[in-house]
A and B are shown apart, each in its own frame.
Chain A
Amino acid sequence: MSKAQSTPTRKPTDAEARFAEYFAARQAEGAPQLAELRTAAFDAFAKTGLPNRHDEAWKYTDLRALLRDVKPLAAPPEQSAKEAARQAGRLPGVDARRIVFVGGYFAPELSDLAALENGLSVAPLSQALAQGDSAATALLGKVGKIDDPAFALNTAFMGEGVVIRVAAGKQIERPIHLVFVAGPKPASYFLRSLVVVEKGARASLIESFEGAGTPEEYLVNAATELLLEEGARLERIKIGREGSAAMHVSTFVASLAAEARLDDFALNLGGALLRNQSFVSLEGRAAHAGVRGANILSGKQHADATLFLDHAAERSESKALFKSVLNGSSQAVFQGKILVRPGAQKTDARMMARALLLSEGAQANCKPELEIFADDVQCAHGSTVGAMDDALMFYLMARGIPAPEAEALLIEAFVGEALDAVESHSLREALAGLVAERLRG
């Protein structure tokens, strides 16, 4: 993965200096259980600094150049911000257990932690640590071996988030919806969650990032670690609706045991600069990971989806499909790497990235990679970049559909190919609704 090539003598950028300053100030406080982990993570970050275009994994998203300034770490939100967040992120038609964070802090009055289903435990990270959840402490930062500066920064600064555990064999029907609402002021948020789905259990998780009401610059660095035990299943939906000047960097680390199944879908609609990086390890036999996403971008938005699928066991399957719709001078990046380790025979891995360019100035970069160390596998990857189909536009318009609506229908169809994989009908409809709203709003 990322191997930074910084010279030790390089003068830190302003942003790097600011991180060092914040970290020194932060060390005094915070949960003592994590002090060692944080320090190690910050040291690892400090060694490389912010990643830049010379780091292969960050080639198209030069964070060192892009992150000029670091806003102060978030302070507890005012009551008005909480009030404003009451409806944030609600998905029509979806009955979910909402766990709301405002300006980086848990908002108990907006959250529903009552009457948790039998076998489900959900706690804010701060609370889990304060109560000495040693299992959580032991797992944090350990779900995968991730050598990445953005993830290291998250570990060093991790603030609030949740610890979710689903007990073996339990099927939790009602989705758990983590709503992260940006505060009204410029700030930096470091959000961290840990999800463990025990043997044979099943759950559904939504993470949405809401900042549509905030024109200010802010930084979100979010990370979710997921452990799926044998035969466990999780459907995860990530929705990005950050503010127009927001920078959002998120890391998803998942480890799948035998016959576990992950279905992940990320929809990006907002924000100025987005980086979604996923590290998915298929550790057990016949594990299955569906990793999909869609970006709908305009103006100067930049969205980077970087995916690492690590097949470490026999008969594991991965299906990756990413769709980007680009208008204005927006940019989409897709980097996907499939690694098939020795012995991971009968791996079936498929990866596809498609971009639809609606304007001259839009740009899509796709970089799929395969690295295979087993001989009996099926792996395929591909990418396409195309424009709107004029013949189809004419056909729709010849039936009386005006150009903007015809275009919206065709874009929805394009995105739909990825969205159709979302198993829950209500979630799929809600996501389609967000896409429709973005296209017509």
Chain B
Amino acid sequence: MTALLEIRDLKAEIAGKQILNGYDLTVKPGEVHAIMGPNGSGKSTLSYVLSGRPGYKVTGGQALLAGADLAQMTVDERAAAGLFLAFQYPLEVPGVATMTFLRAALNAQRKKRGEEEMSSPDLIKRVKELAKILDMDMEMLRRPVNVGFSGGEKKRAETLQMMLLEPKLCILDEADSGLDIDALKVVSNGVNQLRSKDRGIVVITHYQRLLDYITPDVVHVQSAGRIVRTGGKELALELEETGYARYQSEAA
């Protein structure tokens, strides 16, 4: 079976500073991986490199999405190919109506994949269903994208986008930051609904807390720009006990 995500010896830098140092990771369809690590270990960098954020430069190795080389794709092509990055801090987009944004995103992806575009009534219906699951007021979705949303509301909106776009691979960057416990449950519930045998999910998190709600199949510890340990979900609990200190010294 082709891996959904295959990262081989990936090296990347920003502004001349190397952040990823020979990163290896394989995510197969149906798997949920958690990547944990101390602040500054390059967790967000990994998500930006994979999604193609300008400024991040790959200097070695490879990252393949369902066998296709991500480095050969533009940011929007990666999204259309099935990569979704849920931002740690979703951006406010003043002046762009949420529905306009969702329609543009979904239909651009569909068009690129040679699929039929979704009609506006179908889109509205689908968004209403998702809003209900995520306990979001439709009134919020009549506003410009994320404008005036609290941290928790932004994460719900981000999860709604992800559920609507139905990506092959979801990368959640610090999905729990800024969430109170109720919001955390709602967002986790949304993510869990996306779990399927065809989809891969990578949860990047500093804390174990989120993993109480999204149970990973595999847990990795990242330090100094690469994975230093891999285990099952019990590894997350161990980290909660011992902290990251030993991994930081190991890397140094």
Inter-subunit contact B76/A400 (CB<8 Å): yes
The A-contacting residues of B in range 91-107, CB under 8 angstroms, are 91, 93-96, 100-101, 104-106
- In the bound complex, residues from chain A placing their C-beta under 8 Å from that of B105 are 396, 399-401
One digit per residue, 1 when the CB lies within 8 angstroms of any chain B CB and 0 when it does not, for chain A 184-204 equals: 000000000000000000000
Task: Flag whether B222 is at the interface (Cβ < 8 A).
Answer: no
Whether the pair A400, B112 counts as a contact (CB closer than 8 A) is yes
Q: Do A397 and B74 touch (CB < 8 A)?
A: yes
Is the pair B75, A394 in contact by a Cβ cutoff of 8 Å?
yes
| Interface status of A252 (Cβ within 8 A of chain B) | no
Cβ contacts under 8 Å, B165 to chain A? 399-400
| B32 CB to nearest chain A CB (Å) | 21
> Which residues of A lie under 8 Å from residue B74 when comparing CB positions?
397, 402-403
Per the CB 8 Å criterion, the residue count for chain B at the interface is 29
Whether A391 pairs with B101 at a CB distance below 8 angstroms is no
On whether the beta carbons of B104 and A394 are closer than 8 Å, the reply is: no
Q: Which of B79-87, B116-124, B200-208, B237-245 contacts A (4 or more CB under 8 A)?
A: B79-87
| CB atoms of B79 and A395 under 8 A apart | no
A416: which of B85, B95, B106, B109 is its contact (CB, 8 Å)?
A: B95
Query: Are B85 and A392 within 8 A (Cβ)?
Result: no
Pick from A391, A409, A417: contact of B104, CB under 8 Å: A409
In the complex with contacts A390-B54, A405-B108, A413-B96, A397-B91 CB distance below 8 A: no
CB-based contact A414/B95 at 8 Å? yes
Residue of A at shortest CB range from B102? A399
Least Cβ distance of B1 to chain A in Å? 25
**B-contact bits for A401-433, CB 8 A (1 contact / 0 none):** 111011001101110110000000000000000
Q: Indicate whether A395 sits within 8 Å of B87 (C-beta atoms), given known contacts A401-B104, A413-B94, A413-B96.
A: yes
Residues of B within 8 A of A25 (CB): none
- Dominant secondary structure of chain B at its interface with chain A: helix
| B53 close to A (CB within 8 Å) | yes
Contacts of B60 in A (CB 8 A): none
Chain A binding site: helix, strand, loop or mixed by DSSP? helix
Complex Cα gap A403–B108 (Å) = 11
B91 lies within 8 A of A391 (CB)? yes
Specify the chain A residue showing the minimal Cβ separation from B90.
Answer: A395
Contacting residues, chain B, for A395 (C-beta < 8 A): 87, 90-91, 93
A397/B76 in contact, CB under 8 A: yes
CA distance A414 to B53 in the complex (A): 23
Q: Is the CB of B93 within 8 A of A398?
A: no
Within the complex, the shortest CB–CB distance from B31 to chain A, in Å, comes to 22
- Asked if A397 meets B96 with Cβ closer than 8 Å, knowing A392-B91, A402-B108, the reply is no
> B53 to A400, Cβ gap below 8 A?
no
For A406, the closest partner residue in chain B by CB is B76
Query: How far, in angstroms, from A400 to B75 measured CA to CA in the complex?
Result: 7
Interface check B151, CB cutoff 8 A: no
In the bound complex, CA of A399 to CA of B52 (Å): 12
- Least distance between A407 CB and chain B CB atoms (Å): 12
User: A259 to B35, alpha carbons, bound, how many Å?
Assistant: 64
Interface core residue of A391, A394, A405 (most chain B CB under 10 Å): A394
Cα separation A405 to B108 with both chains bound (whole Å):
9
Complex CA–CA separation, A399 to B165 (angstroms): 8
Q: Does B51 contact A (CB under 8 A)?
A: yes
CB distance from A139 to the nearest CB of B (A): 40
| A409 contacts B112, C-beta separation under 8 Å | no
Q: Write out the residue numbers on chain B whose beta carbons fall within 8 Å of the beta carbon of A391.
A: 91
Which residue of A395, A400, A405, A416 has the most chain B CB atoms within 10 A of its CB atom? Answer: A400
Closest to B81 in A: A400
Inter-chain contacts of A403 with B (CB < 8 A): 74, 76
CB neighbours (8 Å) of B85 from chain A are 398
Closest to B86 in A: A398
| Interface pairs (18), CB distance under 8 Å | A390-B54, A391-B91, A392-B93, A394-B53, A394-B75, A396-B93, A396-B101, A396-B104, A396-B105, A397-B76, A400-B79, A402-B74, A402-B108, A403-B74, A403-B76, A410-B96, A413-B144, A416-B95
B residues in contact (CB < 8 Å) with A: 51-54, 74-76, 78-80, 85, 87, 90-91, 93-96, 100-101, 104-106, 108-109, 112, 144, 161, 165
For the complex of A and B, the 7 pairs showing the least CB-CB separation, nearest first, are A413-B95, A400-B79, A399-B105, A400-B109, A397-B75, A395-B91, A397-B76
Interface residue ranges, A against B (CB under 8 Å): 390-392, 394-403, 405-406, 409-410, 412-414, 416-417
